[in-house]
Amino acid sequence: MQPGELAFVQLARRIGAMAQHASALYGQAQAALQLDQLLLPERMATAEGTRRSLDTLAELRTLHEQHKKMFAGFTTAAMGQFKDALAAMPAAKAREYQQGLVGGLEARLAGQARFYQDRDEWIATAIALFTLVDEQRGAFDITAGAIAFDDDALADRYNALLDALEAIHQREVASFRETTARALTANAFLDAVERGAASP
């Protein structure tokens, strides 16, 4: 393996590990907010519970914006480093790495960017849901864990927001699977390169 190739492989490994670490930190910070508690009926049943949920969403938005800003800087730096590393290789090798790895990494980074967009939309939708509940507190009852509005139009707005949250969640799940698959593909390419370099 030429020095330029070795530097590229090491760079790819480092950037992949950094991206995985950043994602893990985001997940841990989100878990600490106990987002699974947000939509519990008891949260919606009282003004205090709804306020707690809105406060949690405000914390999530702050966390999200911090990570999104960090990721934007990380992506710009990573792609700049890849470009420099490719430029230091012979043209044929640069094309091989471009096809075998960089395109996948670009797609992986784009997938993470889509996750941030989806999470932006999820936060905004969840805030709209709890704001509706808070503003219309006298217009619904919660019985056996289900919320029932006195007004059909309000019920439609509430259900549309719930449906939107679920649709966004499903997009996030699909994006996560795609990103994970791309990470595995990138790692397999790097493993193959390193095995080839180690062969006599």
What does the mean pLDDT of the chain come to? 84
Q: Report residue 148: phi and psi, to 5°.
A: -130, 120
| Bridge partner residues of 143 (DSSP) | 146
Average pLDDT over residues 130-134: 92
Residue 51 has pLDDT above 80, yes or no: yes
Residue 200 has pLDDT above 60, yes or no: no
Residue 59 has pLDDT above 80, yes or no: yes
Residue 31 sits in a domain of what CATH number?
Answer: 1.20.120
Per the structure, how many domains does the chain have? 1
**Which structural domain, as residue segments, surrounds residue 34?**
3-198
Residue located via tokens 């990103």? 179
pTM recorded for the entire structure: 0.81
